Amino acid sequence: MTKQAAVLFDLDGTLLDTAPDLGAAANYVLAKHQRAPLGMAQARQLSSHGAIGLLKAGFGETDWANQAQTELRQQLLDYYQQHICEGTDFFSGIRQALQWLNQHSIAWGVITNKPEGLSKQLLAHFPEFEQCAVLVGGDTIAQRKPDPEPMLLACDTIKVDPLHCLYVGDAERDIAAGNNTNMTTLLALWGYISEQDNIELWAADLHCEKSEQLEQTISDWLSEL
């Protein structure tokens, strides 16, 4: 095990189960515009795709093309900001994995496409994130995942070579971003993955079936560095 290693995470669908609050925000906007609500199962599959993914599903692809998309997205984000942590919590076993990293002096951080301000507001609800070494949001810089720049910024901030980083995420863009920077990529299969996702094409280095297994999976990766 090396202290020069780091573990970086996606946020929604990887560390935190944010689908209840994101789904509620989407349904608020859909109801406001006389559209049927999304079911929780559908919201869970779509939450990694953010506000646009949720709203596009709710309006339908053809109808969505004719909407004031920027305005609707802002309506969702405004509602979400006001109700940001009513139903959100860690996935099972994630707290223990973060505690394990802290105990072994392994730096860890978050790289998400969620806006930085909303990310900070959300993380403030969880004391565990006080040990987070770096947070890169979707608007921290001009580029977002799957672009490599957010990944490189995080590595530069914590002074760790990408080759010594594990990136954990539940979406294709997460794995692509990690692969684009020569990180080891781990696909969080407990996250917001739909039946239509062809995960074998994403080319993740590692898969982890259950969030409760994350601590052991990270330990195994570190032991092989």
Angstrom distances, CA of residue 71 to CA of 2, 58, 84: 47, 15, 19
Cα–Cα nearest to 43, from 17, 66, 62, 64: 17
Alpha-carbon gap, residue 195 to 118, rounded angstroms? 29
Residue 60's region, left for phi above 0, alpha for psi from -120 to 50, else beta, is left
| Catalytic residue chosen out of the listed positions 10, 12, 21, 170 | 10
Asked if 10 is an active-site residue, the reply is: yes
CA angle 40, 199, 51 (to 5 degrees): 40
Residues taking part in catalysis: 10
